[in-house]
Amino acid sequence: MHVPKPSVGGNVPSGDGAARDTSGGSAPHPSVASAAVPRVTGAVPAVQAAGAAGTAGTAVGSGTSPAGATASGPADPTPDIPATPEPLPATVHSGTSGTPSPAAAVPAGPVTRRELREARKRGPRLFRRSRRPPREPGAPSRAGRNLPAAIGVGVGLMILVLGGLLFFPLAFVALVTVLGVLGVLEVSRALAVRRIGMPLVPAVAASVALPLAAYYGGAESLAFASVFSFLALLLWRSLDPAPGAPRAVMAGAFTLLWVPFMLSFAMLLLQLPGGYLLIATLLLLVVANDTFGYLIGVLFGKHPMAPKISPKKSWEGFGGSVGGAMVIGALCAVFLLDQPLWVGLVLAVAIVAAATAGDLAESMIKRELGVKDMGTMLPGHGGVMDRLDSVVFASPMAFLLSATLVPGLI
Per-residue confidence (pLDDT) for residue 131, from 0 to 100: 53
| pLDDT (average), residues 96-102 | 46
Per-residue confidence (pLDDT) for residue 317, from 0 to 100: 93
Neighbours of 260 (CB within 10 A): 30
Per-residue confidence (pLDDT) for residue 73, from 0 to 100: 43
Per-residue confidence (pLDDT) for residue 274, from 0 to 100: 83
**pLDDT at 357 exceeding the cut of 90:** yes
pTM, full prediction: 0.63
Query: 325, 321, 324, 215: which is closest to 270 by C-alpha?
Result: 215
Per-residue confidence (pLDDT) for residue 233, from 0 to 100: 93
Handedness of CA 271, 273, 276, 279 (dihedral sign): negative
Domain spans of the chain, in order of start:
1-67, 150-405
Backbone phi and psi for residue 64, each to the nearest 5 degrees, phi listed first: -120, 155
Per-residue confidence (pLDDT) for residue 122, from 0 to 100: 67
Choice among 80-94, 113-127, 148-162, 343-357 with the minimum mean pLDDT = 80-94
Per-residue confidence (pLDDT) for residue 315, from 0 to 100: 93
Burial of 293 per CB tally in 10 Å (0-12, 13-18, 19+): buried
Per-residue pLDDT band at 26 (split at 50, 70, 90): very low
Please state the three-class secondary structure of 188-221 as a single string.
Answer: HHHHHCCCCCCCHHHHHHHHHHHHHHHHHHHHHH
**pLDDT at 242 exceeding the cut of 70:** yes
Per-residue confidence (pLDDT) for residue 266, from 0 to 100: 93
Per-residue pLDDT band at 110 (split at 50, 70, 90): low
Query: 262, 190, 165: which is closest to 222 by C-alpha?
Result: 262
- How large a percentage of the chain has pLDDT more than 70? 63
Beta bridge partners of 87: none
**pLDDT at 18 exceeding the cut of 80:** no
Neighbours of 397 (CB within 10 A): 21
Per-residue confidence (pLDDT) for residue 134, from 0 to 100: 52
Choice among 140-149, 194-203, 315-324 with the minimum mean pLDDT = 140-149
Per-residue confidence (pLDDT) for residue 136, from 0 to 100: 55
Per-residue confidence (pLDDT) for residue 159, from 0 to 100: 83
| pLDDT (average), residues 68-94 | 46
Per-residue pLDDT band at 296 (split at 50, 70, 90): very high
| pLDDT (average), residues 258-276 | 91
Query: 181, 393, 373, 189: which is closest to 286 by C-alpha?
Result: 393
Burial 157-180 (b: 16+ CB within 10 A, else e): beeebbebbeeebeebbebbbebb
